[in-house]
Structure 1
Amino acid sequence: MSEEANQDASKKAASNCQEAAAPGAGAGAECDVLDASTNVSQTHVTQMTASSEPPVAENTKWICEVCTYENYPLSRKCTMCRSSKPLLGEDIFKLQDGASALPTQDVCGAEAVTERLKPLRISSPQGQPCEGASSVNKWPCPTCTYENWPKAVKCAMCGAACPPPAPPPAPAPPSPTPSRTAGTNDICNSQNLSLHDVDSNTRRTSKRRTNNVDWIWLQACLGVVEGDERRVEAYLASGGDPARALAPHELPLLDRASAFDVGHTLVHLAIRFQRQEILANLLSRISGGGSGIKRSPSYIAPDLAAAIRRHMASCIRVNKGNFLSRYMTEFCTFSLPAEIMELPGAVQQQVFDEVLDREAQRALEGGPRPAVNFSGEVTARLRSRLFALWNRSAGDCLPDAAAQAAYGVADRGQALRAALAAAMAAPLYARWAAWERLQAARPPAPYAPSEPQLRGEWARLAAAAARPGAALRQPHVFALAHVLRRPLLVLGVELVASHRGEPLGYARFRGLYLPLLWDPDRCSKSPLCLGYTRGHFSALVPMEPYRPRRDYICRDDEEETENVTYLPLTDSEGKLLPVHYLTCEEMADTEGVVRRWLSACVTRGGVLAARQTLHPRPLLQAQMLEEWLNHYRRLAQQSQGPFPPRLSGADLSSDPDTDEE
């Protein structure tokens, strides 16, 4: 039988069914028989319709249901999240058996969509039309906005629990319209509505993700890795915290285990992937560093800074005595180069703005009782002014500040942090427990902590030391002094204040930390100085003594104080700074203990001070500082103009050069 005959037979059968159904209810069975008899012809028309669909445009992209990324038509998986391409489109109709073997026929409009969706409704139970995947009412995850299937208990992306269902709406009154069987146009309209809902849901999901701070935060992390500064700017513009760290549940969403780790911030990622422009933008927005871009010497010369960190890690050894601890084999002290004073005034101001922590400097020098630079004799006559170096605002600020005070670079390789964690051993616990009992027995409310309480607290301290990014406390400073084998002098505020200036409590970090478990002969008597301001440590370093050029020729007039910096051991009122973790016998002669571990002296004004020896710079450190200074020297040359200054007549000489000259 020809195709025209089949179509005529189908039309006659449909008309007969309608005529039979008009008189009464008994015609329903006859209509069902006729529908069953015409199933073959309808399937044939469906195949012809599917084969006659016009091809999709080559430039039409498909949107990923997981991350809403627009992919090219030939991509079978999403380029971003590697999710499979949804089959609700042209592909599912092209995969029907025999669809490409039949001759094409022009079928369009509602009948075309109905015939294309009919294979999806053949196996529907109870004779009802099967709903497509697009019409299923999925629930969006409140954490990552991923749309999950209705029976899913947890989110398939981030594992978040399904939110409780909304209360059911009140039942609507029955419609006066008599019920009838959904016809071809009704099914077509419902399917078209569901497809439209999919597009609108995708647009709503994309808009919701665009306004979600968590989603923008993850995009900013990917932007740092890929070098896309616009994503970072979008995150910062939305009010995001530049010091936010990655949480464990966010790593599966990023799906790049080699690039991300728990606790990483945008600054960590920018340093790891050498994104200098993004790093400068982030550092300028982090609280604690003041306004403006920060350029430490390690940022100008990252290769030399990495070599210094490797050298610092190679100088750590393991003690084989009773005190099983790691220690540094050399003693180094960092100071700002004196060549800064040779730069023009405007460039000098820029240098100090970019390398110093202005807010920490003001907090340490200000107030009724300043912590640093309060003695004019030490600051002016002895040229021992201290400068607070900028340090990143993270949980590793203590080992970073110690590394900056010694080598001029931060402890980004976690070498000092690992040595600090290894130093939390039994001998250190005994000294700490005895000190805690002494402090607890003091009035006005004395008490006696039990051994399990002390053991539990020490276990928490040791766990925090071994976890990078965790906040560190007083015992960690004491352990770090044993790693460095030299005293640590912490100068800080007495009261910790809030952002509004309200006092929150006493800051107990201020004071002197001595490596009491070492033999004094194996330790250095030249201390390192750190500053503490509201939960943050900074390295306090001096300026290298400035030598005029004539001193390089006539070194006979060199004074002893040019290579020594004096650090006051008293506060602004003349009281000795507290010395931590001493025994009862040692506390009876505190000043004697200080003189045994430090090279102390009394100035003419009566200030008890410790001598800090400025050792000759190591080669790598000198090269790093030279590259850092060259950056500002070029700025000074650009500001002075292209022509050098004219020489005066007194500078000219007609005498021939001699060997001495």
Structure 2
Amino acid sequence: MSERGIKWACEYCTYENWPSAIKCTMCRAQRPSGTIITEDPFKSGSSDVGRDWDPSSTEGGSSPLICPDSSARPRVKSSYSVENANKWSCHMCTYLNWPRAIRCTQCLSQRRTRSPTESPQSSGSGSRPVAFSVDPCEEYNDRNKLNTRTQHWTCSICTYENWAKAKKCVVCDHPRPNNIEAIELAETEEASSIINEQDRARWRGSCSSGHSQRRSPPATKRDSEMKMDFQRIELAGAVGSKEELEVDFKKVKQIKNRMKKTDWLFLNACVGVVEGDLAAIEAYKSSGGDIARQLTADEVRLLNRPSAFDVGYTLVHLAIRFQRQDMLAILLTEVSQQAAKCIPAMVCPELTEQIRREVAASLHQRKGDFACYFLTDLVTFTLPADIEDLPPTVQEKLFDEVLDRDVQKELEEESPIINWSLELATRLDSRLYALWNRTAGDCLLDSVLQATWGIYDKDSVLRKALHDSLHDCSHWFYTRWKDWESWYSQSFGLHFSLREEQWQEDWAFILSLASQPGASLEQTHIFVLAHILRRPIIVYGVKYYKSFRGETLGYTRFQGVYLPLLWEQSFCWKSPIALGYTRGHFSALVAMENDGYGNRGAGANLNTDDDVTITFLPLVDSERKLLHVHFLSAQELGNEEQRERLLREWLDCCVTEGGALVAMQKSSRRRGHPLVTQMVDKWLDRYRQIRPCTSLSDGEEDEDDEDE
């Protein structure tokens, strides 16, 4: 036999290469050790040229050299043509399997009809059936599938199979779960069943005789559990008896069944601190989770990382332990704000939930072409006048806990945006207060509900109404938005025009923002919210974006008046709400209850009831320039006189003695809804209880002075 006639088969593509090749000519795979060597049927330069190749007629009467190792794929010319003709097709995926395979190599489906075994061979005294054996090719396929499965982990969000070294999902960036060992264990158990089936096949083949065949007993559930336990011991490297491990596994399963969504978010946030994933912390914060929450013994047991997690640890402890300075600054700020801030919605959770259900029940959808959602109740939140009856020290504590001092300072002192008129703030009792608001991406929706009902949009009820209104009335809002953006670009001298496809892409992005909890919203969303409230929204905000160094970066474009222009005027209320905007954050601007007034404002006879509180909201800035009116059509655009006429149509306007054009915000002295009144009263009772302690201490000092 010449050296040229001996070839080795590639274990990946089964291509037969010459013996001198160190890599596969077809797929460039490395030549493995212990390679299967076959003889070329058409050897050049040999004495057998010109006749057919016979596997039994090799030189020296020897058969082709085949490596007995089952980890390699045997590809022999003599048996290939015979067995290839006897392959059976899978009824599920139509894959052609080897005759002796009991399961499909591709999809692992059970073979329906058993293919005939090899014909009996005579040996000595007579003929007997040959023991059933599994094809080495199939065993190689199954082992290879087993090894491949254990190298992946499945994402719990998008079900994508990631490599074992990946710490995040490649598709959705979801962090790798901590119980990845259990996931790999389940896959290992499923894949190992293939080998067990082959073992049972060998057992059946060895025990078969004549026409009858003895089948292996079916594996019971207890056997599979025992097998899973042993695999868990082998994979996790646990030490202890099988009974102890079984009890531990049941305990962990019970803990998982008791876990809620907030608990899983908290555990993901803990893992996020360890792995440096800020998105997991933001997800936990946006869900309303407590930053100061501590790890329990069950949670530490579930995380199963004693070197990282201890009982009683908070997110702050973990950030200190793993030196996450950026996360530590955010977490400490959040903890200090939660400890210092106390708004009415935090005092009584039961009443807050009832108010949320009331808001959801008052949302209805208009029938007709313009199927926009709207609120049926007119509610305006104001601070109670009873605050002025508290001692000055208690008042200062109350305002520190309910107001955002930084926002108040920026809107009042750094740039005169609110309370710039002494006439409005002092004589007319129309001073605006910036309520403290969450820093999540839902600050616009939270501020709208704070200015009306005094609560947050924690259940995303308002966001869902916003998304559905934009989706169902997309044509109406799209036309207004496109005309306004075109006019705005031309008014600033940009002079650019977009193709319709580009307009549609930008509009699709605006729609996607409305559907994502925590996503920042834009001017278009404020315009839609004005239609949902059926009342105007006035935004008092900074005019420029600034960096942390104080450098001006660009216009904000948020300040101005948003009117529900797509409704009929008779369907809307003329009492607006006020919002404040500072560097990417919205806050509710509310006033304090007053005693009601008869004639205030030049030439305006108000004639209101004593039970009504009136707040005068300026429609001009500190330079007495009229505020912008957003999303006007081409017919409504005009000079300042036309815009002022439009404002007078949609709002109750008057001119003060100082000559400022203002809009009147009318609200009930009991805040418009009994549930809101109860919530505010319970919140105010916390500060009323401080008074007796202060008075008692003063009285005791007076008695001590008299005794002396």
Same fold, judged at TM 0.5 (above)? yes
2:528 equivalent to 1:479:
yes
1:614-655 Cα distance to aligned partner (Å, 9 max, x none): 1243111111111111111222323333686999xxxxxxxx
Say whether 1:370 aligns with 2:416.
yes
State, as a whole percentage, how many aligned pairs show the same letter: 39
Alignment partners' CA distance in 2, 1:541 and 1:609:
15
Question: Please, which of 552, 564, 568 is the counterpart of residue 614 of structure 2?
Answer: 564
**Map of 2:493 onto structure 1:** 444
CA contact (8 A) 1:337 1:544 kept: yes
Q: Does 1:294 align with 2:341?
A: yes
**Alpha-carbon distance, 1:410 to partner:** 0.8
Mapped to 2, the partners of 1:566 and 1:318 lie a distance apart of 31
Q: What residue is the counterpart of 2:288 in the other structure? A: 268
Equivalent in the alignment of 1:634: 689
Match runs of 1:238-277 below 5 Å: 244-246=281-283, 264-265=284-285, 268-270=288-290
Alignment of 1:590-609 (within 5 A): 590-609=643-662
How far apart are the structure 2 equivalents of 1:578 and 1:522?
Answer: 23
Inter-CA distance 448–159: structure 2 relative to 1 (3 Å threshold): closer
TM-score of the aligned structures, taking structure 1 as reference length: 0.57
Asked whether the 8 Å contact 1:224–1:270 carries over to 2, the reply is no
Structure 1 residue identity aligned to 2:433: F
Distance 1:235 1:645, change over 3 A: farther
Q: CA deviation digits over 1:10-34, x for unaligned, max 9?
A: xxxxxxxxxxxxxxxxxxxxxxxxx
* 1:523 aligns with one of 567, 572, 577: 572
> Per the alignment, in what secondary structure is the counterpart of residue 411 of structure 1?
coil
**Counterpart-to-counterpart distance in 2, 1:455 and 1:607:** 41
**Inter-partner Cα distance in structure 1 for 2:395 and 2:315:** 23
Given residue 585 of structure 2, which amino acid in structure 1 is its aligned partner? H
Q: Provide the C-alpha distance between the structure 2 equivalents of 1:473 and 1:570, rounded to a whole number of angstroms.
A: 22
Aligned residue pairs: how many? Answer: 425
Whole-Å separation in 2 of the counterparts to 1:562 and 1:393: 33
Aligned mates of 1:382, 1:342 — CA distance in 2: 19
TM norm structure 2: 0.53
Residue of structure 2 aligned with 1:154, choices 142, 164, 171: 164
Distance 1:284 1:153, change over 3 A: closer
Distance 2:628 2:568 in 1: 21
AA paired with 1:505? G
2:561 is paired with a residue of what secondary structure? strand
Q: In 1, distance between residues paired with 2:660 and 2:292?
A: 45
Partner in structure 2 of residue 392 of structure 1 = 438
Question: CA 1:310/1:563 → structure 2, altered by over 3 Å: closer, same or farther?
Answer: same
Secondary structure of 2:491's aligned partner: coil
Specify which structure has the bigger relative contact order, considering alpha-carbon pairs within 8 angstroms and separated by 6 or more residues.
1
Partner of 1:611: 664
CA distance in 2 between partners of 1:450 and 1:398 (Å): 31
Once the two structures are TM-superposed, the CA of residue 272 in structure 1 deviates from its matched residue by 14
Aligned residue in 1 for 2:484: 435
- The question of whether the paired residues in 1 share the 8 Å contact of 2:265 and 2:280 is answered with no
Find the aligned partners of 1:522 and 1:536 in 2 and give their Cα distance.
Answer: 31
Match of 2:593 among 541, 544, 551: 544
Alpha-carbon distance in structure 1 between the residues aligned to 2:510 and 2:544: 23
Question: Which residue of the other structure, out of 454, 458, 465, is the alignment partner of 2:503?
Answer: 454
Other structure's SS at 1:463 match: helix
Residues 521 and 243 of structure 1: is their aligned pair in 2 closer, same or farther, counting only changes over 3 Å?
farther
Distance 1:241 1:156 in 2: 17
Alignment check: 8 A CA contact 2:450 2:456 kept? yes
User: 1:222-269: per-residue Cα shift (whole Å, max 9, x none)?
Assistant: 9995699999999999999699324xxxxxxxxxxxxxxxxx427622
* Pairing 1:622–2:677 present: yes
Matched, 1:322 2:369: yes
Unaligned runs of 5+ in 2: 1-149, 156-161, 172-233, 239-258, 296-311, 318-327, 597-606, 703-708
Matching residue of 2:406: 359
Q: Contact 1:225 / 1:270 at 8 angstroms: preserved in 2? A: no
Does the CA contact (< 8 Å) of 2:286 and 2:518 recur in 1? Answer: no
Question: Are the counterparts in 2 of residues 280 and 295 from structure 1 also a CA contact under 8 Å?
Answer: no
1:194-205 correspondence to structure 2 within 5 Å: none
1:308 is matched with which residue?
Answer: 355
Q: Is the 8 A contact 1:440 1:447 kept in 2?
A: yes
1:365 to partner: Cα distance: 0.8
Would you say the 8 A contact 1:280–1:293 is kept in 2?
A: no
Work out whether 1:581 is the aligned partner of 2:636. Answer: no
Question: CA 1:285–1:241 in 2, change beyond 3 Å: closer, same or farther?
Answer: farther
Partners of 1:232 and 1:443 lie apart in 2 by 45
In 2, Cα distance between equivalents of 1:642 and 1:227: 48
Q: Distance in 1 between matches of 2:381 and 2:294?
A: 25
Is the contact between residue 363 and residue 533 of structure 1 (CA under 8 Å) also seen in structure 2? yes
Could you tell me how far apart the structure 2 residues matched to 1:236 and 1:629 are?
38
Q: Deviation per CA, 1:265-290, whole angstroms, max 9, x where unpaired?
A: 27622399999x99999999447996
Does the aligned pair in 2 maintain the 1:364–1:371 contact within 8 Å? yes
Moved more, 229-238 or 289-298: 229-238
Change (3 A) 1:288 1:270: closer
**How many Å separate the matches in 2 of 1:508 and 1:529?**
16
Q: 1:562 to 1:644 in 2, by over 3 A?
A: farther
SS in 1 for 2:631: coil
Match 1:533 to one of 582, 607, 621: 582
Alignment CA distance shift 1:449-1:489 (3 Å)? same
Contact 2:273/2:315, CA 8 A, preserved across alignment: no
Contact 2:411 2:541 in 1 (8 A): yes
Q: Distance in 1 between matches of 2:263 and 2:482?
A: 49
Question: Quick check: 577-586 or 234-243, which moved more?
Answer: 234-243
Work out the CA distance in 1 between the residues paired with 2:643 and 2:658: 21
User: Contact conserved, 1:284 with 1:292, CA < 8 A, in 2?
Assistant: no
Q: Distance in 2 between matches of 1:355 and 1:415?
A: 24
Q: Which amino acid aligns with 1:244?
A: I
Contact 1:563 1:613 in 2 (8 A): yes
Name the SS for the 2:282 alignment partner. Answer: coil
Pairwise CA distance, 1:382: 0.2
- Give the superposed CA RMSD: 4.5
Are the counterparts in 1 of residues 292 and 335 from structure 2 also a CA contact under 8 Å? no
Q: Which amino acid aligns with 1:596?
A: E
| Alpha carbons 1:225, 1:273 under 8 Å: kept | no
- Following the alignment from structure 1 to structure 2, what is the Cα–Cα distance between the partners of residues 433 and 444? 17
On the 8 A contact 2:292/2:315 being kept in 1, the answer is no
User: Could you say what secondary structure the match of 1:570 adopts?
Assistant: coil
2-side partners of 1:360 and 1:324: how far apart?
A: 36
State how far apart, in whole Å, the 2-side matches of 1:298 and 1:441 are: 44
Q: Distance in 2 between matches of 1:226 and 1:245?
A: 14
Distance 1:591 1:284, change over 3 A: farther
Q: 2: distance between equivalents of 1:340 and 1:413?
A: 30
Query: 1:456: how far off?
Result: 1.1
| Contact 2:268 2:280 survives alignment (8 Å) | no
Given residue 413 of structure 1, which amino acid in structure 2 is its aligned partner? D
